[in-house]
Amino acid sequence: MLALVLLVLSLCNFHTLVGSLNDEGFALMSFKQAIQDDPEGSMNNWNSSDENPCSWNGITCKDQKVVSVSIPKKKLNGFLSPSLGSLYELRHVNLRSNKLYGSLPSQLFEAQGLQSLVLFGNFFSGPLPSEIGKLNYLQNLDLSENFFNGSLPESLIQCKRMRLLTLSYNNFTGSLPRGFGINLVSLEKLDLSHNNFSGPIPSDLGKLANLQGTADLSHNLFTGSIPPSLGNLPEKVYIDLTYNNLSGPIPQNGALINRGPTAFIGNPGLCGPPLKEPCSDSEASSPSSYPYLPSNYPPQGPGDNGEGGRSQGLRKSAVIGIIVGDVIGICIVGLLFSYCYSRFCACGKRKDDSGYGFEKGGRRRRDCLCFRKDESETLSEHVEQYDLVALDPQVAFDLDELLKASAFVLGKSGIGIVYKVVLEDGLTLAVRRLGEGGSQRFKEFQTEVEAIGKLRHPNIVTLRAYYWSVDEKLLIYDFIPNGNLSAAMHGKPGITTFTPLSWSVRLKVMKGTARGLAYLHEYSPKKYVHGDLKPSNILLGQNMEPKISDFGLGRLANIAGGSPTLQSNRMTSEKPQQKQGNTPSEVATVASGASFGSCYQAPEAMKVVKPSQKWDVYSFGVILLEMITGRCPVVQVGTSEMDIVHWIQLCIDEKKPLSDVLDPYLAQDADKEEEMIAVLKIAMACINTSPERRPSMRHVLDTLERLPASSD
């Protein structure tokens, strides 16, 4: 009998201890039990002996009710317990950048007051439950960078207060729910990129009048024509439709007008401006190209041809005659100028005895009879050949000062020699000499170099001036003092000691390089491609800020003549430690320029002649791998070698621990491991063998910018 009494008393005691925690606390303890690994101890103070969970890490209460569960970036490994759905006052859930997996439990959406659900950067999979339609107050849904699949439930459009919808980098399929644009009119941000959405783009997307920034539908499988109604979106909205299966003419109205080709590339069936692919007559006359004109719109004036009308324009034969006459006239004028130039303007030149061997001939051009000072010409046309041409109004030196300056060779290659030049006033420049070819393609060279000279960005080396003569072509840049990224990562040839870069500096270099590339791809006047990005072409400024160099160098070298193509330099496989001296690619302090160049080359670059921006994305991904692993672009594996891309894939296949992948020098930044994992994910996306599946540099930059600014 005594033993029975003691047992009853002990059970009562246990119930009293456990019963001290309220129901919401029990729900959160169930959430904790579903977490298999909490390496940072973020839930260590979650104790069942507390009366309520309001003092627990990551928990926020209002009136003793849980309103927020926020545990981001804590390396939590496990699945999401359905018990969170019993927190009826829950408003915010933020579990981003953890290692949570499994599907979303439908019970989660029983918390119908939920306003924000942020789960990006985990390993969730499966479809989005249809119960999400119960969340009438949901404003922010971010499920990006997971493995969700299936189609979006029709019930999603019932979340009419939604302001931010981000589903990028998943495996969603199917069409967008009917009524998407009509119902979700409060949307301010829409990112559906890098999924497998298919079907036509809903025409009612044009009703999303509150959108800001980018409406991103890129890298999907959308088909059909572009709805003209998209032009109704706010004009400041950038509409990204790249890499889908869209076809037909691009509507020319509203927000779709004056968009560059980068908003539409990757859709082989699209035609019309701003693309170079013209539309056929049947496509061009399609009513979809002119959304505000009915198909039977009457002629616009007496010059138009309607049924029963007569053309008032010139006949076809007359137009052809005029064109032929113009061509003949232009040819005659060209021949006259050519004769005049060869007869009177063959300006001589003389060699200079300076250490450069540069040629002076700038003043002798003034004796030419064909080009007088009073002729109306642009600056560069007036300068013509044999003069130093300033591309920046702040350039105050002339050719004589440049030739008298102290000069030191920084490096040599097939593309020429790079000098460090110090003028008498102390100004330091980098001068690249493009060989001694005798090509006379001056106008072509002039056009290219002046276009490059207009580029101004803090993460791109600035071209200040150039010089051309028959046997001498010079490019004058800013001098960048801290060498290049290759030397900073692996040391310089012949020097055994160096200080590895900290994680904060590496992240700063990554972000700055991404900004420079995004500028070249999206915001520069001609939407350029670098084509030869590698660590030796990323220079480091006074404060270790990155500056992309050698942009356009290959084409300039080919035009100048006497130099191998840049492509051939990229295919060399010489090891850095075997290199004699420094390489020239720096336009500053240079090391190991063409070494392992092919490792940074996108696989398709060997087959496709025309460079693509996705080449640069691939190269950038390889550079990211190099920076987070500390490995050279070719990795020694046993007695064999493999490039770093295949090596990282081998590590993933063999499920190597993260410590075997990351640079050992980064151990001191162990608290930044989550950032390193995020960068690794970005790198893996960039090195996708399919160029269509690689993100754009704008996407890459956006993702990098989400990493803490304090690391910059």
Beta partners for residue 413, in sequence order:
416
Q: What is the pLDDT of residue 36?
A: 93
Instruction: Note if 660 is an active site residue.
Output: no
In terms of pLDDT, which residue wins out, 377 or 562? 562
For 310-345, write each residue's pLDDT tens digit: 334 445 555 566 665 665 666 665 555 555 445 444
φ/ψ of 166, rounded to 5, equals -125, 110
CA 111, CA 119: separation in Å to the nearest integer?
A: 16
CA 63, CA 91: separation in Å to the nearest integer?
A: 14
**Which one of 191, 240, 387, 532 is the catalytic residue?**
532
With 90 as the cut, is the pLDDT of residue 362 above it?
Answer: no
Sheet of 123-126: strand order equals: 35-37, 77-79, 99-102, 123-126, 147-151, 171-174, 196-200, 221-224, 245-249, 269-271
**Closest Cα to residue 446, out of 566, 561, 556, 557?**
556
| Cβ proximity of 187 and 165 under 8 Å | yes
Residue 287: pLDDT band by 50, 70, 90 thresholds?
very low
| Cβ proximity of 437 and 563 under 8 Å | yes
CA 65, CA 63: separation in Å to the nearest integer?
A: 5
Residue 276: pLDDT band by 50, 70, 90 thresholds?
confident
User: What type of residue is 171?
Assistant: N
The CA-CA-CA angle for residues 112, 113, 119, to 5°, reads 85
For 494-538, write each residue's pLDDT tens digit: 666 778 899 999 999 999 999 999 998 887 777 888 888 999 889
**Residues across the chain:** 712
For 61-88, write each residue's pLDDT tens digit: 999 999 999 999 999 999 999 999 999 9
The secondary structure of 307-349 as a DSSP string is TT----S--HHHHHHHHHHHHHHHHHHHHHHHHHHHHH-----
For 378-430, write each residue's pLDDT tens digit: 333 334 445 678 887 777 777 777 777 777 777 666 666 788 888 877 788 88
